[in-house]
Amino acid sequence: MTKWLSRAVPVRGSPGTGELVVNSTSWIDVAHDVSSGGGQLASLWTTSGDESGNHANVRAVFLINASVLIVTLPIVDDSLSYRGLETLFPSAVRMQRAAFDLTGIRSDAPDQRPWLRHAAWPAHWHPLKFPAMRSEIAAKSIDNYEFVRVEGDGVHEIPVGPVHAGIIEPGHFRFSIVGEKVLRLEERLGYVHKGIEHRFTELHLFEAHRLAARICGDSAVAFSWAYCQAAEGLTNVRVPQRGLYLRALALELERLQNHLGDLGALGNDAGFAFGLAQFSRIKEHLLRVINGALGQRYLFDWIVPGGTARDIDAASSNDLIAFAHEVASEVRHLRQIYEEHSGLRDRFSGAGRVEVQLASQLGLTGLAGRASGQSLDLRVDRPWPPYDQLAVTKCVRQEGDVAARVALRFDEVQETCVLIAKILRELPWGPVRVETPLPNVPGFAVGLIEGWRGPVLIALQNGGEGKISRCHAHDPSWHNWPVLEHAIIDNIVPDFPLINKSFNLAYSGHDL
């Protein structure tokens, strides 16, 4: 892998990122070397040609130790296919299918079923293909999606969704079962595709951070920081230290909110309503403290190009430090209750297990990956400012079941409370934001942030004069949804809601 990294040209935005333009042979050679060396696929997408004469291309982003390598394969003739990466990185399958739906650039992978289209637009139309054309409304038709069938004596299918009996977003889950034992699960997502990547191209470079913050509501800080990191990279702007620390504060508060909510919901899914009540109470108290200290309960638009939208005063800082200590203490007590409760132990232990080897093979990442021995945490492994000064302690488990994913959340709550206090005690003096000039020429930059669910990526192509020619956003759920299909095998159907919640993957962040 070293030879490829040494040839890469530096890319602006996320530190330690380089780009390598390759031919079709090297495309596979690089991917093979990354896979053999234990690297990970972070994202894959395609871009069509444009009015400036730029060719279409396929881009793959690989995480290699402390480096990020973007591999770009130019496509001179977009009627030809490119070599798919699914045999080396299984999570590439759905990314390749989605890329074809959007741009018409096809891989040679065996699975060519549509992923995003759902008969919502004509099969010959691709919304991100240049020149852009408005699609005629697709004729109403039955969407005969070819699910993989499991046959045999006593095998039945249970279709669940896409509309659910709750407020969760739509997704179709097709179970093949014998009795209550699950033999296979196949997912179909993409029902909440919103055309976000196209919408980015209609916004100004320094306004689109607001859209980034709304890609996925529970990861608003992570996505907006990734976007701003890329946009600032295009202009070589240095965010003030105080602004960077306040961004980290917001990211850790977002992590804490989500972990508290998940711990309560997981208790409730296992029949322990007391857990939901207690964690809901703590989360609501946290949101009120955040609102008092930072001016809003959820931190949409807190991160802006050049820094943060607002500052924090000394009194509010002290309130947050005191409350972080209070949360840590209460959660330690609740953890003892969870671990001593025989009903929770029975439901959590062994359920939805993803062994370390399987997690590595399938590319399980983020929180769910760390519960299965995949230790990647960008805050530790390739820290960006100010995490390079915060000395985050990584939390990792090996068991890979629901119990491990619950335990990891408990571990990270404690570490996050420590980090919140540390950030506020060490908060530098000075401005929180600087003015950000427009880039002089078109360029490409990447933002990469460790959100609470895992790595969040923004790849931003500036078209000049504040225009965005392409913005690709990537949520770690792309990698983890396919692993959920394996985690449920040999478990019983009633355990699926619990196993699913222990992963807590995004629909909205996945179906852009």
Residue 30, classed as helix, strand or coil, is helix
Query: What percent of the chain has a predicted confidence (pLDDT) above 70?
Result: 96
97: phi then psi, degrees, rounded to nearest 5: -65, -45
CA–CA separation, 231 vs 446, rounded Å? 8
Spatial distance between the Cα atoms of 405 and 397, rounded to a whole number of angstroms: 8
d(CA 268, CA 274): 8
**182 strand-pairing partners:** 177
User: What was the pLDDT predicted at 163?
Assistant: 86
For the segment 74-97, the average pLDDT, to the nearest whole number, is: 92
**Residue among 490, 453, 504 at smallest CA distance from 269:** 504
Q: How confident is the model at residue 132 (pLDDT cuts 50, 70, 90)?
A: low
pLDDT in tens, 187-226: 999 988 889 999 999 999 999 999 999 999 999 999 999 9
Query: What's the whole-number average pLDDT of the chain?
Result: 93
pLDDT > 70? residue 53: no
**Residue 281 confidence (pLDDT) above 90:** yes
Class for the domain spanning 2-103: alpha beta
Note the pLDDT of residue 136. Answer: 60
In this prediction, residue 321 has a pLDDT band, given cuts at 50, 70 and 90, of very high
- With 80 as the cut, is the pLDDT of residue 481 above it? yes
Q: Give first-to-last CA distance, the chain, whole Å.
A: 32
Instruction: Indicate whether 133 pLDDT > 60.
Output: no
What residue ranges do the domains of the chain occupy? 2-103, 196-503
pLDDT for residue 137: 58
Question: Shortest CA distance to 7 belongs to which of 89, 70, 88, 66?
Answer: 70
Nearest to 260 by CA among 418, 414, 419: 414
Question: Which residue is associated with the tokens 């690089």?
Answer: 30
Q: Give the least confident one: 85-89, 131-135, 254-258, 296-300.
A: 131-135
pLDDT exceeds cutoff 60 at 488: yes
What pTM, to 2 d.p., does this model score?
Answer: 0.96
pLDDT: which is higher, 168 or 70: 70
pLDDT of 166 above 80: no
Cα 327 from Cα 421, distance rounded (Å): 12
pLDDT of residue 135: 57
Q: What confidence category does residue 5 fall into, taking pLDDT thresholds of 50, 70 and 90?
A: confident
Give the fold, CATH level 3, of 196-503: Cytochrome-c3 Hydrogenase; chain B (1.10.645)
Q: Tell me the pLDDT tens digit for each residue of 428-463.
A: 999 999 999 998 888 999 999 999 999 999 999 998
Whether 259 shows a pLDDT value over 70: the answer reads yes
Q: What is the pLDDT of residue 167?
A: 75
